Structure 1
Amino acid sequence: MIVQDLRNWASKHNVRYRALEGFWLNLKSYRIEEPEDFEELFWNYDEKYLKILIENISLHIKSLEYIDPNNKELENIEVKVRIEYRANHIGYYRIFFGVNGEIEDDIFISGWTGLRLYQTRGLLEGIKEEIETERMNGEITEREAFRLKAIIEAKKENIRKEFSHSE
């Protein structure tokens, strides 16, 4: 196979621009149609923390049984866009082109499972601060505060270990 042919095809059909344009349209729709899911994945959304890059462009033949120059329906070109948010790999946006250059489909795939763990650790840290405030205000004893903070630290450590194994 001549790789230059794929490069020429990608240039001719302006797939880099079209893939990035498709990503932004997909992201906008996702934000409107699934606001809770969007916020969970892109917490405190700020575009300046979003990094996207085309990871690869590849030719896919869906079934080797049907390799035939006249059978274009089982061939497509995929552009895979890597998505990072706040320095975390979030997932991919994939857009599929027919060999004629027309867009056939696109999908957004979330690949980051660490967000919930990250947020839970943050919540636990907030609870520790509340415990310290209650201790300083005399609402709980120093001994109670120490015991509760130790429990929270143990939970945070378990979450950190779980997070490390999930990546």
Structure 2
Amino acid sequence: MKLDDTDLCLLAELQRDAAAPLATLAVRCRVSAPTVLRRIRRLEQAGLIEHRVAILHPQRLAAAVGEGLQAIVELTLERQGAEFLQAFEALAVADPAVQQCYRVSAGPDFVLVVAVRTMAEYQALAQRLFTAHDNVRTVKAYFCVHRAKFDTRLPLPSTAAAAGESGATAGQR
């Protein structure tokens, strides 16, 4: 799929605020609201827009509900053949406490980002994902005490429309 300046502008704006009204997106990307809707649907159908969600702040949520724990976990397997890597990956991504799962190289085999409500829930997660499986060799968990930055936006090519510098009006697209 080829992306033009309007597509890139919409992707950039939706990464900033997926709840922005169509009219606002139309002004920012200098197209009409029906064009915005049509383009967003096309981007979703193409799989470029995977989800549109609300992102909760973990520390503020923990303060509001009285608990919350996030950890970054490095994990190395004993046997690293493709079937063993795929088996652990399938297990990890199926667990609701695992928010992100990365297969990495030049270090551990996997890096997981996990979120649970309590230390007891983390221990249950560790039991079902790490301790109960004989192929897990090492686990290092780093518990988050402060989040200085969190951003879900992916870098996009810079374009005139995405930067809001295009001279085109909504009627010209």
TM above 0.5, yes or no, is no
* Greater helix fraction, Structure 1 or Structure 2: 1
Structure with the greater alpha carbon radius of gyration: 1
Q: Report the TM-score when normalising by structure 2.
A: 0.22
Taking CA–CA contacts closer than 8 Å with sequence separation of 6 or more, which of the two structures ends up with the larger relative contact order? 2
